[in-house]
Structure 1
């Protein structure tokens, strides 16, 4: 059997590639979350469908709460931050106004941009294991996973409500 010669990449090259791929996915890849949220009709954001315990507004609040926790960890990883505290589910199921809905989306987008800036920064050590046993790359991947899960729910709610 013939051997395959695979060029060795440096750790720095691999880290750069991971950084680029994380940024691409955080920015939304083929389906940016911010666009989906802005398309969602705020008048339907407070509707809780039969069998569910959340509305689009509750989901947005839950997504933001988890993202904020993980962002704080990424900013201050040396602190022993509980990166997976009990889930925050807002009690109010609907935004008070279209302005409140839009402000929440704006805040989500701004917080996400902070995450992206940290991931892009060469000075950010994405792989150093912190005192809580986690890494910044773990936090970025967790934001992607958690948000993606709930955005899928939001998209399903929107389809059921005729948003799309």
Structure 2
């Protein structure tokens, strides 16, 4: 009986840690995005090929791909297609910037709900050889990398 409780405790612990990291850990992704001044979201600093707006679009597109896999793991097996980099480098309005953040946040919450749900088989190997825990970890790793870039851009532009 003790090993069942231990397995359940480990499962709960892993799920809680994945949720914490998906939210951004010590640098909450959605909060950082909402703090970013949309008027500076289209600035491309010297030496870079992207703006904060492009980063948001890229992060969101990758998250959508991985969330789609988590929703339908046996149908949506292409989890790492070519990277999507938006062509336009700036939002057309504050409303567009905020709507993109809202959509990203909504889909992030859906992914978090899947991770939290004990019925979600996080560690079952899917037909493509991946697991749903892999998709969640890939999302947090990819997002964390680019959120770091966004934070650096923001510091250079005086956002923080």
Higher relative helix content: 2
Give your verdict on TM over 0.5: yes
2: CA distance, partners of 1:71 / 1:80: 10
> How many equivalent pairs are there?
158
2: CA distance, partners of 1:10 / 1:156: 41
User: So what's the TM-score if we normalise by structure 1?
Assistant: 0.92
- 2:68 and 2:76 in contact (8 A); partners too: no
1: CA distance, partners of 2:156 / 2:76: 41
User: Residue deviations 1:66-99, cap 9 Å, x none?
Assistant: 0000000000011252100000000000001000
Q: From 10, 14, 31, give the equivalent of 1:14.
A: 10
Q: From 29, 32, 37, give the equivalent of 2:33.
A: 37
Say yes or no: does 1:58 pair with 2:54.
Answer: yes
- Bigger Rg over Cα: 1
1: CA distance, partners of 2:141 / 2:56: 15
User: So what's the TM-score if we normalise by structure 2?
Assistant: 0.95
Q: Which runs of 5+ in 1 are unaligned?
A: 1-6
- 1:79 and 1:131 in contact (8 A); partners too: no
User: Residue deviations 1:132-160, cap 9 Å, x none?
Assistant: 11000000000100000000000001111
Q: Which runs of 5+ in 2 are unaligned?
A: none
| Corresponding residue for residue 20 of structure 2 | 24
- 1:80 and 1:131 in contact (8 A); partners too: no
